[in-house]
């Protein structure tokens, strides 16, 4: 069997490997204005009522530049980046993902920066130190927004069904009392971003409109899998309205703060999830990622995040409004919890295509090629302090952990980022066209601009998607096991301007810069893991600001990326001077009054 036949026998929809060598070009400076406060409201009305303005703003953003991209001539368009690793004869799922033997405990002896983990909850329940009901009663005053004296942490949560949460805790407490817990997740609290369905919870997607008409009738598959293992869903989590920015600024529901520095955004659009995990309220959460929305907030809040391969994680029965870019994935306080939560929520859904075709998640086995791909000119786009942190971690991987660093190049990165932005905006506008006038001013502007995208330009974007996927396939064929590494964001955090909080803000240049590296995984469908590698002093407020590193793997390589994540955790605790830093605002949820 030829190499290509072997490749295509292991995957469905694998792109044809084809290198595309185009010299890197530094993108021109952005020309998008920064507007906030009451002026933003007036601009939104202007954009919505004056016909020529949206088209001018669309062109000003550079979306029309794909028309000059001759490399796209003769390239077929690809509308769906799903590449499915097929089950092999030895790919049977384990009998249980939540047996205690599946939980790694690498950080038990970490000298600093130890967040509570699933193991801490499970051990405490098992030895009778505390019960799930004890934990829930400790948590509820911290996460409820429907109380008179609301905790600042509660801004991360949108809705908590107190009676349902207590019922789940009581049932879990009884199982431990009888010595029959369902597994290591039994009684462990978690949250779900507001863009997933949760039974009996309203579904706002960060807006003021309840898309569930009073409460969802069924939970999305990935959330249901965690609850099936006894994990306690303690609430839905705030997000940037419609997920259409990377700050988590939300004038409707409030903007959660960064646990390391309250003068900084938590990142978005899974900012409620990252803030809740970073503050220590919950050990893991489910987020969504259409343009870095798991990885950017994980980066900003100093936690771990995984964007799975496209279409792997089922959200049925909910449709996916970001069909060709958005996936769901876990955020967690440590790698052991990221691994367990991912394996449970990513179980194939037998009733849903294409989730049903994916091989079940499993621990990585066999030898691992430790190869890291670095596109140096792309990395040079980062701020100097981010580059310093990135290369310090990279040096540790190379000299202490045996990784080989390989110089690579990826073509048309500037154009690719514009193509991704055009795609996610168009898909979002199509999904929410009936409710645009109820949106915040910034999103009314964004959605109006998105409607200006001509079909011909959208098609050019999908041609570029295919070209990029073919190039990545060639890299993965040339260097088996390759992990393409970048900083997660080129900047260390995003400071909050208090004037932005009441009406929102539109800052296209900063948003594009914030997504400098994250868009590639969404547009091409490859999995990507992010983990913290350093901290720097913030330029505003008090406290440090985390810096993260991301690794992009071949389609279906989540299990190998998790191993890379554990190596990243080793760097943070053992390689970095000072180890992992704890947030000033971290909450000890397992400290009980005696």
- Give the domains, in start order, of the chain with CATH numbers: 84-98+116-413+466-575 (3.90.1300.10)
Query: What is the secondary structure of 361-398 as a DSSP string?
Result: P----S----EEEE-HHHHTTS-HHHHHHHHHHHHHHH
Task: Summarize pLDDT for 163-216 with one digit per residue, the tens.
Answer: 999 999 999 999 999 999 999 999 999 999 999 999 999 999 999 999 999 999
Query: What is the secondary structure of 203-217 as a DSSP string?
Result: --TTSSS-TTSSSBS
> What pLDDT band is residue 1 in, cutting at 50, 70 and 90?
low
- Chain centroid to Cα 73, Å, comes to 33
- Chain centroid to Cα 37, Å, comes to 28
Q: What's the burial of 405, exposed, middle or buried (CB within 10 Å: 0-12/13-18/19+)?
A: middle
CA dist 466 and 81 (Å) reads: 8
- Residue 361 pLDDT more than 90? yes
Task: Summarize pLDDT for 101-142 with one digit per residue, the tens.
Answer: 888 875 555 557 899 999 999 999 999 999 999 999 999 999
CB-based contact 578:565 (threshold 8 Å): no
3-state SS class at 353: coil
CB-based contact 296:490 (threshold 8 Å): no
Tokens 């799903």 found at: 82
Structure tokens belonging to residue 538: 């913030």
Task: Summarize pLDDT for 412-469 with one digit per residue, the tens.
Answer: 999 999 999 999 999 999 988 776 888 999 999 999 999 999 999 999 999 999 999 9
DSSP helix, strand, coil percent of the chain (3-state; round to 5): 40, 15, 45
CB-based contact 219:201 (threshold 8 Å): no
State the chain's maximal CA–CA distance in angstroms: 72
Task: Summarize pLDDT for 532-562 with one digit per residue, the tens.
Answer: 999 999 999 999 999 999 999 999 999 999 9
Tokens 């168009």 found at: 426
CA dist 227 and 222 (Å) reads: 9
């Amino acid at each position: 069997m030829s190499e290509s036949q072997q490749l295509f026998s292991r995957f469905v929809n694998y792109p044809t490997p084809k290198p595309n060598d185009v010299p890197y070009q530094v993108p021109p400076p952005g020309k998008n204005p920064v507007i906030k406060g009451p002026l933003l409201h007036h601009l939104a009305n202007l954009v919505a009522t004056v016909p020529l303005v949206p088209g001018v703003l669309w062109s000003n953003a550079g979306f029309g530049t794909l028309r000059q991209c001759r490399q796209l001539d003769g390239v077929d368009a690809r509308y769906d980046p799903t590449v499915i690793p097929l089950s092999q004869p030895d790919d049977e799922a384990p009998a249980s993902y939540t047996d205690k033997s599946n939980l790694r405990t690498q950080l038990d002896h970490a000298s600093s920066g130890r967040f509570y983990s699933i193991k801490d909850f499970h051990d405490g329940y098992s030895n009778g130190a505390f019960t799930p009901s004890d934990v829930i009663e400790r948590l509820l005053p911290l996460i409820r927004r429907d109380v008179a004296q609301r905790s600042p942490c509660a801004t991360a949560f949108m809705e908590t069904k107190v009676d349902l949460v207590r019922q789940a805790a009581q049932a879990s407490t009884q199982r431990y009392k009888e010595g029959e817990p369902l597994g290591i997740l039994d009684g462990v609290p978690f949250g779900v971003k507001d863009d997933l369905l949760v039974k009996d919870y309203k579904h706002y997607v960060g807006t003021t409109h309840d898309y569930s008409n009073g409460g969802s009738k069924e939970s999305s598959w990935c959330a249901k899998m965690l609850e099936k293992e006894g994990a306690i869903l303690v609430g839905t989590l705030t997000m940037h309205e419609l997920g259409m920015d990377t700050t988590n600024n939300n004038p409707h529901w409030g903007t959660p703060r960064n646990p390391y520095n309250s003068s900084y955004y938590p990142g978005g659009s899974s900012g409620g999830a990252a803030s809740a995990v970073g503050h220590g309220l919950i050990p893991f959460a489910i987020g969504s990622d259409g343009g870095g929305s798991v990885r950017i907030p994980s980066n900003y809040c100093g936690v771990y995040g995984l964007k799975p391969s496209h279409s792997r994680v089922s959200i049925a029965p909910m449709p996916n409004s970001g069909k060709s870019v958005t996936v769901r994935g876990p955020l967690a306080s440590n790698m052991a919890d990221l691994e367990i939560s991912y394996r449970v929520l990513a179980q194939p859904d037998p009733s849903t295509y294409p989730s049903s075709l994916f091989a079940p998640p499993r621990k990585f086995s066999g030898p691992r090629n430790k190869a890291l791909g670095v596109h140096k000119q792309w990395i040079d786009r980062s701020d100097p302090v981010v580059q310093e942190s990135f290369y310090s971690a990279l040096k540790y991987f190379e000299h202490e952990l045996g990784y080989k660093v390989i110089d690579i190049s990826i073509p048309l990165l500037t154009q690719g980022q514009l193509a991704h932005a055009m795609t996610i905006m168009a898909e979002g506008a199509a999904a929410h066209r009936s409710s645009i006038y109820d949106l915040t001013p910034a999103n009314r502007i964004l959605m109006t601009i998105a409607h200006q995208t001509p079909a011909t330009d959208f098609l050019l974007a999908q041609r570029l998607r295919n070209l990029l996927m073919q190039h990545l396939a060639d890299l993965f064929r040339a260097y088996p096991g390759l992990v393409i590494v970048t900083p997660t964001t080129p900047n260390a955090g995003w400071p909050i301007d208090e004037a932005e909080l009441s009406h929102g803000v539109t800052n296209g240049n900063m948003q594009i810069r914030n997504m400098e590296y994250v868009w590639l995984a969404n547009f091409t469908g490859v999995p990507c893991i992010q983990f913290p590698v350093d901290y720097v002093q913030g330029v505003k407020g008090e406290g440090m600001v985390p810096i993260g590193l991301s690794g992009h793997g071949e389609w279906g390589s989540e299990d190998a990326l998790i191993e890379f994540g554990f190596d990243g955790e080793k760097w943070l605790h053992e390689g970095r001077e000072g180890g992992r830093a704890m947030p000033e605002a971290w909450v000890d949820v397992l400290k009980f009054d005696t």
